[in-house]
Chains A and B, each alone.
Chain A
Amino acid sequence: MFFTKVTMRYILITSFFFCFAASCLAQNTIFERDVASKRNRAQTGENTKMHTGVILSYGRILPVAEADSGKVDLRSSILSYGFYGKRRINNTFSFGWIIEYSRMSYSIAQDTLENKFTPGIEHESDRFNWNLIGGGGFFRTNFGKRGNVLGKHLDIGGNVMYGFAVKRVISRKDDPSVAMGSEQQQNVYKRLKFINRFQYDAFARIGLGNFGVIGRYRLSDLWKSHESVNNNESFPELSRFTVGIDLRL
C-alpha cells in the first residue's frame, strides 16, 4: 500500500481541513489559480519600471579620529532600517529614494589621556546616541546584462536625517552602586543643546543582488559650532567614515 502512517495522517488532516472549508465555502476546492488576474497584473520584479523593497543596514563607524582628542572605539555603529524605491531609467541606470530610521551611536574611546569629553576621567563607556529619521536618494549604475534581478550595481547617494531623540549615556567605572553589589547605574543626559540634530551624509554602495557593502561619509558636524561646553571648549569632531553591510529585500 502506498500510504504510510505519515501519509495517512497527512491525508486525514488535509481531509479535516477540506471538510471544514467545505462547510464554509460549500465546495471542496483544494487548489485554484486565477490566471486572468495574473495575466492582468503589472509585472513585478527587481528590474521592472518601479521596484520597492525593505532596507536593513548595519555599519561600523571607523575608529579614525579627526583629532587625537576625539577618538571613538569599535562599539560605534549605525543601524538602519526602512524602505526604498527604485525607478528604472534603462537597463543600466536607475534612481531611487530611501526612507529610513537610523540609530547612530558614537562611543568615545576612553583609553586616551587626551579625551576632551571627560578630561582626566576614564569611564566604562561614554556614548552619544542619535535616533534619526529621514530619507535620501541615490543614483544606480548597473553592470552587465541581466534579467529581472538587481544584478551587480553601484549606488551613489546621500541622506538627510533629523535626530528626534538624542542623548548621552555615561557608564562610570567608579560607580558607587556597583561597589554595593547592585547593578551598574548609567547617567543619561538629554536636551543636549550643543548637539547638531540635523545630520546628512553621502554614501557609495556596491551591490550584488540583494546584498551590498556600503561606505558612508558624514558631511554634517556632530556639534553646533556656536555652542561651547567643557570649559568653553567645543567637543572635537568624531570620525566621519562608516563601512557596513546592507540588505535590500
Chain B
Amino acid sequence: MKGLVASLLCVLSFFTASDLKAQDRYWVEFSDKSGSEYNPIEYLNPSAIERRIKNNLNLNDSTDFPVNVEYVEKVQSIVDSVRVVSRWFNALSCHATDSQIDKLKDLPFVTDITPFQSSRKQISRFPQKSMSMSMRERSVLKAQTEIMQAERFQMMDIYGQGVKVAVFDVGFKSVDEREEFKHLFHNDQVIGTWDFVGNSPRVYHGGTHGTSVLSCIAGMIDSIPVGLATKADFLLARTERNLLELKSEEDFWLAAAEWADQNGAHIISSSLGYTKQRYFWEDMDGQTSLVSRAANMAASKGIIVLNSAGNDGDSDWEYLGAPADADSVLAIGGIDPWTGFTTVFSSFGPTADERQKPNLTMFGHATTVSPKGVEMAAGTSFSCPLVAGFAACAIQANPDLNWEQLFELLEMSGNMYPYADLVHGYGIPRAERVLDPIAKAEKTFRIESLSNSLLVKLNDSIAEDHVHKEASLPLYVFYKIVGKDSLIKYFAVSWPEGNTGARISKARLEQGDVVHVFYKGYYEIYTYN
C-alpha cells in the first residue's frame, strides 16, 4: 500500500511540477532607452521610411530606438534565456525561475514584470482535403475573387505589385514546393522570411495553416487566382508553433510586427486569435492583450493590419478575440458563400468597450492550397487573407493615401457601408468603391409605419430581383435597432418576399430608437417616436 501511495504522489507531483517548479515566461519592461544609438537610415528599409514619410511620422520615433544593450545583457546574465526583445515596448520576454525574477525586481531599470503564458488558436476549421478540384471547389474559387470584383482590378493591371504583405502564421509548409506558389519564387516576390520560433530563416515547415492562408492572397490554381494580390511582395513570418504547442506566441507576433515594419511592410495579415485560454471577454478592449497593443503599434507606424475575427460565434465565447479587438485592426468576419450571410461560426462584435467589430466580412469557406493539394477550408482564417489581397490592390490603386485614409477607404469599400452590424461589419469589400467615387445609390425601399410593425417596402421595379447579379448571391434586407445610448440592441437579416423586405415588430422598439435598414446599396434610417 505504501508503494501505491508513493506512486499516486509521484503522479500528482508530475502533473503539477511544471507550475510549482516555477520556470515560466515573463515580460520584463524597462524604464528608459538611455544610451541607445539609432539611425533610421540604417535600421529601416527604404520602403519603411517612405511609409513613415507618407504618414507624417517622425523618423526618429523613440519607439524605434533599440533597447539598451546593457539592460538586455544584465537580464540575460540572470535569467535562463531571453526570447524576444521589443523596441516598440522597450521590453523583453524571457524564461526565468521565481528566484531569478526576484533578482530582476531589484534592478533599478526594470519597471514591470508580468507572467506571460497563454494558448492560441488558429482560426480555421473543418478542412476537407481532396487531390483534385471538385465542382464545388471550383465554383467557390471563382466566386471568392469575383465577389470582390477582381476583374475591376485586373482591367487596370492591379495585382498588388509593389505592395509588401507580411503574413504571420504557424508555418508555410511546402509553399516552396507547390506549383500554386511557383510564380512567387520565379518573380522573387518572397522578399523575406523569418521563423521566430526556431530563430532561422526557414519558414516552409511547421504547420500547414499558413500555406492555405498565403494561398488566399497569392495562390494560383490552374492559372485561376485564389486571391487578389498574386503579384505583391511577401514577408513570411512563422510566429506560432504547431497545434500541440500550448504556450503563447504573442511575443513572437510582436517581434514579427517589428520585423515587418523594419522591412517596409504595408500590410500585416494574421489569421490567429487569442481568446478564453488567457482572457475574459472584458479583456477584449484592444488595450489589454500584448498582441492587440502590438497590432495598434504596427498601425501607428502606418501598416494596415488585418486579423480574422475568430470562429467562436457558435461557442460559449461568441465574441472576437485579440488582436481583432484592437481599434486600428481591420477585423474580418466570415460569410457563407452559399447563403450570402454570416456563417454559424464567425465571431461577433462588439468589443468589450462597445466598438463596432468586425470591420469587413468575406467568405468563411474558401478554396485553398494545402501541402496535399487543393482543399475546401472553412474559418475566418481564410476570409482575412482574401481581404488582405484586396487591401494590397487598394493600396496599389491609391499609392498616395496615408494610413488613416486607407483604413477609412477599406471600411468604405464594404458593400453595405455606411451600414454595419456586429457580424457582417460593413460587408464584403468591392473594387468599385476603391476605384471610383461612390455613386449615389438608387432608392430601393421605403419604411412604412403600420399599427404593430414597421414595414420595409421594396420598390416595385426591383421587387422581383433578389439575387446579386455578379456573384449570384441572394440579396437580403439588413436592419438593426440602435438605442438612445447609440448601442446596437438588435440586428437581423431578412429575405424579401415580393414587395415586403422586412417587418420589424414595434414590440422591439422603444421611444427614441433608431432603425437602420440596408437593401441593395441603399441605406435609410428611421427614428421611432
Contact = CB atoms under 8 A, between A and B. Distances in A.
A35 B490 contact: yes
Interface stretch (B264-272, B383-391, B408-416, B496-504): B496-504
B12 A154 contact: yes
Contacts of B279: 147-148
A157 to B, nearest CB: 14
B492 A31 contact: yes
Contacts of A43: 280-282
A147 B280 contact: yes
Contacts of B276: 45-46, 147-149
B503 A26 contact: yes
A206 interface: yes
A10 to B, nearest CB: 6
Contacts of B487: 35-36, 39
A95 B49 CA distance: 56
Nearest to A19: B497
Contact of B143 (A2, A22, A143): A2
Contacts of B16: 143, 152, 154, 206
Nearest to A207: B15
Interface of B: 1, 4, 8, 11-12, 15-16, 19-20, 24, 115, 117-118, 135-136, 139, 142-143, 146, 275-283, 316-318, 338-339, 341-342, 348, 422-423, 471-474, 476, 483, 487-497, 500, 502-503
Given A3-B472, A28-B494, 6 more contacts: A28-B496, A31-B341, A36-B489, A43-B280, A45-B280, A64-B1
Given A43-B280, A45-B280, A144-B19, A29 B492 contact: yes
Contact of A27 (B8, B473, B503): B503
A29 B494 contact: yes
Given A27-B502, A33-B422, A149-B277, A22 B497 contact: yes
A207 B502 CA distance: 50
A149 B348 CA distance: 20
B342 A31 contact: yes
Query: What does DSSP make chain A's interface, helix, strand, loop or mixed?
Result: mixed
B19 A152 contact: yes
A145 interface: yes
Contact of B472 (A1, A33, A46): A1
A187 interface: no
Contacts of A38: 318
Contact of B316 (A1, A10, A29, A45): A45
Nearest to B476: A30
Contacts of A32: 490-493
Given A11-B338, A27-B502, A33 B423 contact: yes
Nearest to A8: B338
A204 B139 CA distance: 55
Nearest to A151: B277
Contacts of B490: 32-36
Nearest to A39: B487
B493 A29 contact: yes
